[in-house]
A and B are shown apart, each in its own frame.
Chain A
Amino acid sequence: MELKQKYIDAITKTVSEISGEKPSQLDKFRNVGLKHFVELGLPDKSDENWLYTDLSTAFSTNWELKPKGLHRKIDIETIFTCDVPDFDTHLAIAFNGQYFDTGTDFPDGVIVGSLAKMSEQYPQLVEKYLFKAASHEQRMTNLNAALATDGFFLYIKENARIEKPIQIVNAAFGNESFFINQHNLIIAGKNSFAQIAYCDHTLSATPFFINQLTEVFLEENSELEFYNVQNSHNDTTQVSSIYVNQNRNTNFHSNIVTLHGGLIRNELRVKLLDKEANCNISAINLTDRKQHVDNHTCIDHIAPHCTSNQLYKGIYDDEGTGAFTGKIYVNKGAQKTEAYQSNKNILLTPNAKVHSRPQLEIYADDVKCSHGATTGQLDQNAMFYMQSRGIDKKEARMLMMYAFANEIVSKIKIEPLAAKIEGMIYRRLRGELSRCANCAIKCS
């Protein structure tokens, strides 16, 4: 109770400071966010969605809530280098949730920029979508609504097919600790196609609390691929909430690879609003030491003739912990739904722990649905089989974990990115990958 009041006071103060400071349409939602926050409070066990991830320690830090971007000019090349030679992308960067203009030229078919700025430049477009997918029932969303002042705006124009992937890099950076709130808006216009590589990254060793809210809209006949690589340091707390609204005949493909990070919560909430909307989502997390990774999905089959496919996997070592909660909700009218979900976990030590909660609620009678979860150790018979062929225990373990993770990597359709992530997973499993793999600043 005390903590909640502390945040109500701090948020109220911050809201009054930031409102109108840099005018944008985000200001319209601050008081709504604050109001709902006062009602619902911080995420805790009183909310069924937050049974297995405890943010109380993270919230008890005295965070600076006021956003601090990077305002000096900076040479991107010196800060961020992408170590894939063939990975040619359109690059966009945000520091601490604030869009940073790199001067990159984007192709005609796409508008990329600061959400705050674009809400003034394209007011009708932003108004049409902003907070139309996000839900005020979610507590972290309310915090975000009250406090976020910027984020990415990405609009793929009607009929545009963006051949080169768009790479979005989030970098947390600074000498002091921040609470970062970031709001992204991604819109795939009618008949459009784009691939997005979305990277979460910390560039300095200070602790961060990152609360990202991403709203994604797929208009008729559009297709969007969203690849998220998370490689932040172990003092990072990150909650990433992605809301996706899919219209008729759309394909949404998402893939999350969590390599490093202290406490990570990924929420993916998809609404299949019209016929022939298909979503294909997958994730792998490699979690060790005292890290915690919580993947939370909710697929809402509203319209008939839609499909969804979920494959979420986790490897937990040391005292690593995690959770998977996946809900498939098939509404009464959503006949001919096909919805599948699978969660598979490997626990490498007796101290590693994962909670798996697959959930299926069906109110239609002509559907194909399945869900399943497995949690176990590496198969000892397979280990011995490999040893008996001359492979030592360590290598046998590696081969099996690598194969386990590779099922997810093979779903990445951007070839150089898949190769890169495969390499990162390989090094991560061998303990050779640091969170600084892509960073030129050797801060630690």
Chain B
Amino acid sequence: MSDNLIIDKYKTDNIMLQIKDLHASVDGKEILKGINLTIKAGEVHAIMGPNGSGKSTLSAVLTGNERFQVTQGEIRYKGKNLLEMAPEIRSREGIFLSFQYPVEIPGVSMVNFMKTVVNEHRKYKGLDPISASDFLKLMRDKKELVGIDSQLTNRPVNEGFSGGEKKKNEIYQMAMLEPTLAILDETDSGLDIDALRIVANGVNKLRTKDNATIVITHYQRLLEYIVPDFVHVLYQGSIVKTGTKELALELEEKGYDWLK
């Protein structure tokens, strides 16, 4: 099948992301050992699993982190071969990762950073750079949506932010970019219950029938707020069980041992 035909077929079938037999390693050590996963537009998928099962590796591979090598398998995003795309292209195509550990960028102000980001996305779509007033309005609207402190956007990216502020800042950037596929990697870790609610609320407001979300988490707690359509259990590099949101409750109760 030609690429265009594949893209059309994915569109007809409403498939956003399809992972087939994905193997990936870091520093020569295989972490992912044959992942299969299909995500349709409008869906929320939770990926759960114990420490070291490969959850963060999966998000790193989806966003193109060079530290991880894909050794086997295929990923189609909206029908396109994702593994051929540079990280920035994946972003401009609508993939967003909310980092487990957001990175500090000394000296680069949030405002400049966001402006560069927004304009890179616009350029990719063939649009002119955003006007100063439209940009300010966009920032203001989105800040409100995620309840982020106005002062934070004047500071360098993530520098001196508290753990909670960093996570909010991720969702704020997500709101600015309105991705089609959002990957939330342990977004709940380090958040108190109020912050968790605000962050989850922000994510829910951004949900539409045209975008999809992957929620990576240890705990069931976040899934009370962001309700998944499917829950997958990742164990030792492959998906060992898939179910609905009830599976998350069962995991909370029994732990992961019974699945081994």
Chain A contacts for B66, CB-based, 8 A: 384
Interface 1/0s, chain B 77-101, versus A by CB < 8 A?
A: 0000000001110111000110100
Q: A387-B86, A403-B156 given. 7 additional CB < 8 A pairs?
A: A379-B105, A384-B103, A388-B87, A388-B97, A390-B120, A392-B88, A407-B107
A18 within 8 A of B: no
A388 and B91 within 8 A (CB): yes
Q: What residues of A have a CB within 8 angstroms of the CB of B108 in the complex?
A: 399-400, 403
In angstroms, how far is the closest chain B Cβ from the Cβ of A88?
28
Inter-chain contact A389/B91, CB cutoff 8 Å: yes
Q: Which partner residue on chain A sits nearest B93 by CB separation?
A: A390
Question: Is B117 part of the binding interface, using a Cβ–Cβ cutoff of 8 Å?
Answer: yes
* A385 within 8 Å of B (CB atoms): yes
Q: Which residue of B lies closest to A407 (CB)?
A: B107
Are B107 and A404 within 8 A (Cβ)? Answer: yes
Taking the closest CB of chain B, its distance from the CB of A412, in whole angstroms, is 16
Instruction: Count B-side interface residues using an 8 Å CB cutoff.
Output: 30
Interface 1/0 per residue, A399-426 and B, CB below 8 Å: 1100110110000000000000000000
CA distance A388 to B116 in the complex (A): 13
Q: In the complex, which residue of chain B has the Cβ closest to the Cβ of A386?
A: B105
- With A399-B108, A400-B105, A403-B107 known as contacts, the answer to whether A387 contacts B87 (CB < 8 A) is yes
Contact with B along A364-402 (1 / 0, CB 8 A): 000000000000000101101111111111010001100
Q: Are B88 and A406 in touch, CB under 8 angstroms? A: no
Q: How far is the CB of B107 from chain A (nearest CB, A)?
A: 3
Interface of A is mostly: helix
A426 to B108, CA, bound (A): 14
Number of interface residues of A (CB under 8 A): 20
C-alpha gap A391/B102 in the complex (Å): 16
Is B187 an interface residue when CB atoms closer than 8 A count as contact? no
- Interface on A for B, CB 8 Å cutoff? 379, 381-382, 384-393, 395, 399-400, 403-404, 406-407
Closest A residue to B118 using CB positions: A390
Contact of A391 among B90, B120, B173 (CB under 8 A): B120
Bound CA–CA A385/B102 (angstroms): 8
Q: Which residues of B contact A395 (CB under 8 A)?
A: 116, 120
Q: Which residues of B contact A384 (CB under 8 A)?
A: 65-66, 87, 103
B104 within 8 A of A: yes
Which has the most chain B C-beta neighbours within 10 Å: A382, A386, A407? A386
Taking a contact as CB atoms under 8 Å apart, the answer to whether A390 and B86 are in contact is no
Q: Are A387's CB and B102's CB within 8 A?
A: no
Kindly provide the distance from the CB of B127 to the nearest chain A CB, expressed in whole angstroms: 13
Contact B86 A385 (CB under 8 A): no
> In whole angstroms, how far apart are the Cα atoms of A172 and B205 in the complex?
64
Q: How far is the CA of A305 from the CA of B196 in the complex (A)?
A: 50
* Residues on B with beta carbons closer than 8 Å to the beta carbon of A385: 99, 102-103, 105
Q: Which residues of A contact B64 (CB under 8 A)?
A: 387-388
In contact, B116 and A387 (Cβ under 8 angstroms): no
Q: Can you list 11 A-B pairs with a CB-CB distance of less than 8 A?
A: A385-B103, A386-B105, A386-B113, A388-B63, A388-B90, A389-B173, A390-B88, A400-B107, A400-B108, A403-B105, A404-B107
